[in-house]
């Protein structure tokens, strides 16, 4: 009878479990989400009286999904290094310099770790919950929230909370620095809040090869910039002592082709920083601008290129539309739309901007050095412009743009750097002629580099230098022609002005003689 009784017991248990699973499936299918959460809370509370294990969760995002948790990132790095060998389901990413794969545990994978005799279990989980608005009660797409959960016996509570978690965070941060792969970010123009993307930024691996050694700059200027950057990266305690956010602003200005973008890449490679290329025309308003700032990480460079084209920032802060109130109201548009608007002012041809983006000058200033700029540390803010005189003085004053760097036309020292890079030449008999021409001619480093580039497989260094000499002579001739034309134009203007003065004097004398008569 015992085997039959055992079989009946298993049959009854199986039937009960099947019934429970069926009922639970019905509950999940038809019951409101709030009731499901209530039942889960009740079950967890009941199990808490009998379950001897403690669980701690580390969520990827805290608060209103403003910023990724540092603890979550550190745990992710720690587990990828210490427990990936025991995990059975893994995910792979390219590591530093894209030379190796970094393995980490996949979702719902469970791994074991030990610390001072205490055994713990880690699992990567996620919750999926719909969100809805209060007014319409309509549901957004489901929102995923990832989190790590560590479980351990309650007898090890003191060891885990006092020592183990601190050990995990410390080790994880060191591993992140070691395996860090630098990235180039851009803000997503299609982002809507609330959004269920992981971040407001999209990124690719940053692989720009530029360095200060390869830049066409004078050695003294290079050393000045490098010393400034290295001093900044080592000044955490100094900034804390003087009560300022650990950031520094750089304004790069000069004619097109003088290496402003290359300078940013060289700065990132020197300091091993990420680069956030902020496209202002894709930012809806000041609130979105702040959210973008919050999601940037430390050890990064925030770049706004060609800011004179992205925003209408004049020294007078002129209003673009009489219907818009507020002295600093700046309407944001695309670079092409700004050019069209400029044509409309001058030639009455005009252009319409389809952008609905609107950012105020005040919002941009707060982004640079307001209260929100302190939510993070070790960051550079870099503006580039071809026309520094067009920018509002409040935007580029010291304290916001702390260091102004002018990148001008190529000098002979800059040419020697390019000749070494492109032709592997440190000296040549044609250098004297080039030095004479380059001191009398305005030519950008980009133009010099293009002429030094071999045009065919048979081009030797001498032929490339001849290309450059020819370009310099043509540029010098064009400058002389332009100077001659300008001199003629000025002479004509002076002549017209002189004739106008003589005519006024003659008219004045004629009026005086008539008055005497």
Q: Could you report the per-residue pLDDT of 466-505, keeping only the tens digit for each?
A: 999 999 999 888 888 888 888 888 888 888 888 788 787 7
* 191, 55: one domain: no
* 173, 208: one domain: no
Residue range 261-282, pLDDT digits in tens: 999 999 999 999 999 999 888 8
- Cα–Cα distance measured from residue 438 to residue 469, given in angstroms and rounded to the nearest whole number: 9
What pLDDT shows up at residue 59? 87
Better-predicted residue by pLDDT, 314 or 20: 20
Residue 480 lies in a domain: yes
What pLDDT shows up at residue 83? 65
Mean pLDDT of 287-314: 82
* 365, 321: one domain: yes
* 451, 476: one domain: yes
Contact 317, 392 (CB under 8 A): yes
Mean pLDDT of 2-17: 70
How sure is the predictor about 360, in pLDDT bands with cuts at 50, 70 and 90?
confident
Domain boundary among the residues 181, 200, 233 is at 181
Better-predicted residue by pLDDT, 473 or 338: 473
Domain boundary among the residues 121, 148, 181 is at 181
Residue 137 lies in a domain: yes
What pLDDT shows up at residue 449? 92
* 308, 400: one domain: yes
Residue 10 lies in a domain: no
Domain boundary among the residues 380, 406, 432 is at 406
Indicate the pairing of strand 379-385 with strand 247-253.
parallel
> How many structural domains is the chain composed of?
3
* 69, 174: one domain: yes
How sure is the predictor about 102, in pLDDT bands with cuts at 50, 70 and 90?
low
* 336, 196: one domain: yes
Residue 108 has pLDDT above 70, yes or no: yes
Contact 428, 462 (CB under 8 A): yes
Residue range 216-241, pLDDT digits in tens: 999 999 999 999 999 999 999 999 99
* 427, 517: one domain: yes
What pLDDT shows up at residue 133? 43
pLDDT > 90 fraction of the chain, expressed in percent and rounded: 28
Tell me which residue range forms the domain holding 396: 187-406
* 501, 398: one domain: no
* 154, 284: one domain: no
Ramachandran assignment for 456, one of left (phi > 0), alpha (psi -120 to 50 degrees), beta (any other): beta
- List Cβ<8 Å contacts ≥24 apart for 36-40: none
CA pseudo-torsion sign 386, 387, 390, 391 = positive
* 298, 163: one domain: no
Residue 385 lies in a domain: yes
* 290, 394: one domain: yes
Contact 228, 266 (CB under 8 A): no
Would the pTM count as exceeding 0.85?
A: no
Residue 289 lies in a domain: yes
Residue 13 lies in a domain: no
């Amino acid at each position: 009878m015992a085997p039959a009784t055992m079989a009946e017991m298993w049959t009854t248990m199986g039937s009960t479990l099947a019934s429970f699973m069926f009922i639970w499936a019905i509950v999940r299918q038809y019951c409101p989400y709030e009731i499901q959460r209530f039942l889960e809370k009740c079950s967890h509370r009941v199990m808490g009286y009998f379950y001897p294990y403690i669980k701690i969760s580390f969520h990827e995002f805290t608060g209103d999904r403003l910023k990724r948790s540092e603890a979550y990132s550190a745990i992710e790095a720690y587990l990828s290094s210490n427990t990936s060998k025991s995990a059975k389901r893994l995910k792979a990413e390219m590591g530093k310099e894209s030379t190796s794969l970094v393995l980490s545990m996949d979702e719902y994978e469970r791994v074991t770790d030990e610390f001072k005799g205490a055994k713990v279990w880690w699992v990567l989980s996620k919750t999926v919950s719909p969100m809805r608005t209060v007014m319409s009660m309509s549901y957004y797409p489901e929102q995923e929230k990832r989190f790590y959960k560590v479980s351990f016996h309650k007898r090890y509570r003191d060891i885990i909370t006092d020592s183990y978690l601190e050990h995990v965070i410390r080790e994880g941060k060191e591993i992140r620095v070691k395996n860090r792969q630098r990235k180039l970010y851009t803000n997503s123009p299609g982002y809507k809040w609330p959004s269920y993307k992981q971040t407001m930024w999209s990124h690719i691996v940053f692989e720009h090869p530029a360095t200060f050694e390869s830049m066409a700059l004078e050695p003294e200027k290079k050393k000045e910039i490098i010393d400034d950057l290295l001093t900044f990266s080592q000044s955490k305690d100094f900034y804390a002592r003087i009560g300022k956010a650990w950031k520094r602003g750089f304004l790069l200005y000069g004619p097109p082709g003088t290496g402003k973008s290359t300078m940013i890449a060289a700065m990132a490679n020197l300091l091993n920083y990420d680069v956030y290329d902020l496209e202002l025309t894709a930012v809806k308003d000041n609130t979105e601008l702040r959210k973008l700032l919050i999601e940037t990480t430390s050890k990064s460079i925030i770049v706004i290129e060609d800011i004179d084209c992205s925003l209408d920032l004049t020294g007078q802060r002129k209003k673009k539309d009489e219907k818009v109130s507020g002295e600093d109201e700046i309407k944001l548009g695309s670079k092409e739309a700004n050019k069209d608007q400029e044509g409309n002012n001058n030639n009455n041809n005009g252009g319409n901007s389809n952008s609905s983006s609107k950012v105020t000058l005040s919002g941009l200033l707060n982004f640079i050095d307001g209260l929100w700029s302190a939510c993070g540390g070790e960051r550079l803010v870099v503006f580039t412009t071809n026309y520094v005189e067009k920018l509002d003085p409040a935007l580029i004053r010291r304290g916001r743009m702390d260091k102004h760097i002018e990148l001008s036309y190529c000098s002979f020292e800059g040419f020697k750097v390019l000749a070494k890079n492109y032709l592997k030449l440190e000296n040549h008999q044609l250098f004297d002629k080039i030095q004479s021409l380059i001191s009398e001619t305005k030519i950008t480093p980009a133009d010099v580099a293009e002429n030094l580039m071999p045009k065919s497989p048979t081009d030797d260094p001498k032929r490339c230098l001849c290309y450059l000499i020819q370009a310099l002579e043509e540029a010098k001739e064009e400058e002389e022609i332009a100077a001659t034309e300008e001199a003629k134009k000025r002479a004509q203007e002076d002549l017209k002005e002189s004739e106008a003065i003589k005519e006024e004097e003659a008219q004045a004398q004629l009026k005086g003689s008539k008055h005497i008569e």
